[in-house]
Amino acid sequence: MNPMLKITNLTNAIDGKAILKGLTLSINAGEIHAIMGPNGAGKSTLAYTLGGRPGYEVTGGAATFDGQDLFELDPHERAAAGLFLGFQYPVEIPGVSNLQFLRESLNSQRKARGEAALSGGEFIKIAKEKAGLLGLDMDMLKRPVNVGFSGGEKKRNEMVQMGILDPKLAILDETDSGLDIDALKTVGAGINAIMRKPDKAVLLITHYQRLLDYVQPDFVHVLAGGRIVKSGGPELALELEREGYAEVLAA
């Protein structure tokens, strides 16, 4: 079986400064991976580089998504191919409602895949269902994208978007930060309901073990200094939480 996402010896630079220094990672369909690591290790940089954020220049290595060269695709083409990026800091877009934003996004994706656009009614039905799943009030989806949302609401909204867009691979960048315990449970259950399927995969980027109590990873990796320096099963996350990065990396 070919991996869904295959990253080989990836290096990149931001403003000429090297951040990722030879990162290799493979994710198969049906798997949930967690990447943990200290501040400044390059975790968010990895997410943005895979998503194609301008300014995150790839300087070496390769990444394929379903066998396709990921870096050949523009950001919106990566999304249409089935990649979803959950933002650590979701962006506010005044004047554009969540529903409009998501309907245009979904229909752009469908067009790129040669599928017919969804009607207003069909779209609202999906949006209602996914908002319900994440406990987000439908009224919030009528409001401008993330404007006036609390930190927790923004993260729930990211998951509602993920549910509606139904990606193959979700890269979730610190989706757990800013969430209280109840919201963490809801978001964790949402990730499981939407993404824990044999044909889907998740890459969770997180500082803490907390989210991993609700979304059990199959593999845990430690990112430090722009490389994966250690990989293991779920027990590695517990060990990190107990002993700290410095201790585990020194061992």
Partner 1 sequence: MNSLALPTRRDEAWRYSDLDAVKSVWPIAPATQIAVAPGETAYHHLLQDAADTDVAIHDYVITVADGASCHFHILNSGGRLGRVTLDVTLGDGAHFELGGAIIGGGSQTLEIVTTVTHAKPNATSVQTIRSILGQTATGSYLGKIAVARDAQKTDAAQSVKAMLLDRTATANAKPELEIYADDVKCAHGATVGELDKAALFYMASRGMEPAVAQTLLLRSFIAGVFDTVADESVRETLETAALARLEKLA
How near is the Cβ of 93 to partner 1 at its closest, in Å? 5
Is 190 a residue that touches partner 1 (CB under 8 A)? no
Is 250 a residue that touches partner 1 (CB under 8 A)? no
User: Applying CB under 8 A, which part among 100-108, 116-124, 187-195, 230-238 lies near partner 1?
Assistant: 100-108
User: Applying CB under 8 A, which part among 17-25, 52-60, 124-132, 206-214 lies near partner 1?
Assistant: 52-60
Question: What does the chain look like in DSSP terms, one character per residue?
Answer: ---SEEEEEEEEEETTEEEEEEEEEEE-TT-EEEEE--TTSSHHHHHHHHHT-TT-EEEEEEEEETTEEGGGS-HHHHHHTTEEEE-SSPPPEEEEEHHHHHHHHHHHHHHHTTPPPPPHHHHHHHHHHHHHHTT--HHHHHSEETTT--HHHHHHHHHHHHHHH--SEEEEESTTTT--HHHHHHHHHHHHHHH-STT-EEEEEESSSHHHHHS--SEEEEEETTEEEEEE-HHHHHHHHHH-HHHHHH-
Q: Which of residues 112-131 bind partner 1 (CB under 8 A)?
A: 112
Is 74 a residue that touches partner 1 (CB under 8 A)? yes
How near is the Cβ of 213 to partner 1 at its closest, in Å? 28
> What residues form DSSP beta bridges with 170?
84, 202
Is 109 a residue that touches partner 1 (CB under 8 A)? yes
User: Applying CB under 8 A, which part among 93-101, 120-128, 195-203, 231-239 lies near partner 1?
Assistant: 93-101
Burial class of residue 34, CB neighbours in 10 A (0-12, 13-18, 19+): buried
Nearer to partner 1, 111 or 197 (CB): 111
How near is the Cβ of 244 to partner 1 at its closest, in Å? 33
Is 85 a residue that touches partner 1 (CB under 8 A)? yes
Nearer to partner 1, 83 or 236 (CB): 83
Is 179 a residue that touches partner 1 (CB under 8 A)? no
How near is the Cβ of 100 to partner 1 at its closest, in Å? 7
Instruction: Please give the residue ranges that form the binding site for partner 1 (CB under 8 A).
Output: 51-54, 74-76, 78-80, 84-85, 87, 90-96, 100-102, 104-106, 108-109, 111-112, 144-145, 161, 165
